[in-house]
Structure 1
Amino acid sequence: MSKDILHNWEKKSKEHRKTYQQFLKRANKNEVLKRLPLLHEEAFDNVDCLSCAHCCKNYSPRFKTPDIKRISKHLGLKESVFIDTYLRVDEDGDFVVKASPCPFLNADNTCYIYEERPSDCARFPYTDEDVLLKRQTITLKNSEFCPITYYVLEKLLQQ
């Protein structure tokens, strides 16, 4: 039954955008936050990120200072060399990858720096935390390219 939700999810996510928007605006924050951990886990049980990797192919996480320090050390690069090689500053003043797909995405959709990946990557798609409610624009955007976000929103609407 859970896998049925994912049938044609890309099309349905666009069709349901207004419904998601209305739900997120009026949702009982405490109730939603209580339900998120279980729904997050259920979504990851039903979606294979390695078969998708849409986030890594089309978007960039923010690379914060601790991320840059940790990753550059892991790669054996000076921080300045790591930044010059892989990153640029976006319109919000954040460090992001220079180009898509992410330079650390392997051909099999695994991550070359998985254990050291940016905190944004580790937390993505934020379906087990209050970002889902607090940053609704991000949640709505994520629902259109991330099947896990779509899945969680659909399950929240069902109950």
Structure 2
Amino acid sequence: MGDILDQWQRKAKDHQKVNKQFLQKLQTKKGKGTERLLPRLHDEAFSKIDCLDCAGCCKTISPRFKTPDIKRVSKHLGLKESVFIDAYLNLDSDGDYVVKSSPCPFLGSDNYCAIYEVRPGDCRNYPYTDSDQFYKRPNTTFLNSTICPAVYYVLEKLREKMSL
């Protein structure tokens, strides 16, 4: 995967303090300078990383299932919304519907998603490496850098390119 991605999980843990400080500074500066870099770094990361090799997100965190997501997925599965909710979802402490268990019940042993075509919006947008959510939600980005090699890659490359 390249030098930056060799042992990325260990490196993400080793760089926790510096990455957290960088993301906080980035948020304070409202991401100034990142808008032009993020799309290119996102594309670069995903030219080196295949999500199917990892699926760390699906194995460890749950997306929020908003009402349109619940309608779309339950229809796709041929279930009533209430049955889908009872079978697969719980309300979290923020009042959002999330999957009951990890890994995600729709993740196959081959790391393919059984509901990929109708997946929730959070899944479609993850890992936010090409949007302003990357710097607007520093705690989420920081956590994601320990779960997703693409987030780690973008964060490290961004730190190299920017001096804050």
Q: Which TM-score tier does this pair reach, normalised by the shorter chain? A: over 0.9
* Matched ranges for 1:46-125 at <5 A: 46-125=48-127
Find the counterpart in structure 1 of residue 46 from structure 2: 44
- 4+ residue stretches of structure 1 with deviation over 2 A? 25-28
Alignment partners' CA distance in 2, 1:12 and 1:82:
39
Alignment partners' CA distance in 2, 1:43 and 1:73:
34
Alignment partners' CA distance in 2, 1:31 and 1:109:
35
Q: Which amino acid aligns with 1:133?
A: Y
Deviates more, 1:76-85 or 1:21-30: 21-30
Alignment partners' CA distance in 1, 2:34 and 2:20:
14
**2:156 paired with 1:154:** yes
CA-to-aligned-CA distance 1:127-159 (integer Å, 9 cap, x gap): 111111111110000001110100000100111
Paired residue total: 158
Q: Which amino acid aligns with 1:62?
A: R
Alignment partners' CA distance in 2, 1:92 and 1:141:
18
Find the counterpart in structure 1 of residue 18 from structure 2: 19
1:138 to 129, 137, 140: 140
**2:128 paired with 1:129:** no
User: CA-atom RMSD, angstroms?
Assistant: 1.1
TM-score, normalised to structure 2, is 0.93
Identity rate, percent? 59
Alignment partners' CA distance in 2, 1:60 and 1:23:
26
Structure 1 residue 26: Cα displacement: 2.3
Alignment partners' CA distance in 2, 1:32 and 1:67:
30
User: Retained in 1: the 8 A contact 2:72–2:118?
Assistant: yes
Deviates more, 1:15-24 or 1:31-40: 15-24
Alignment partners' CA distance in 1, 2:111 and 2:12:
23
CA-to-aligned-CA distance 1:45-80 (integer Å, 9 cap, x gap): 111110111111111100000100111111111100
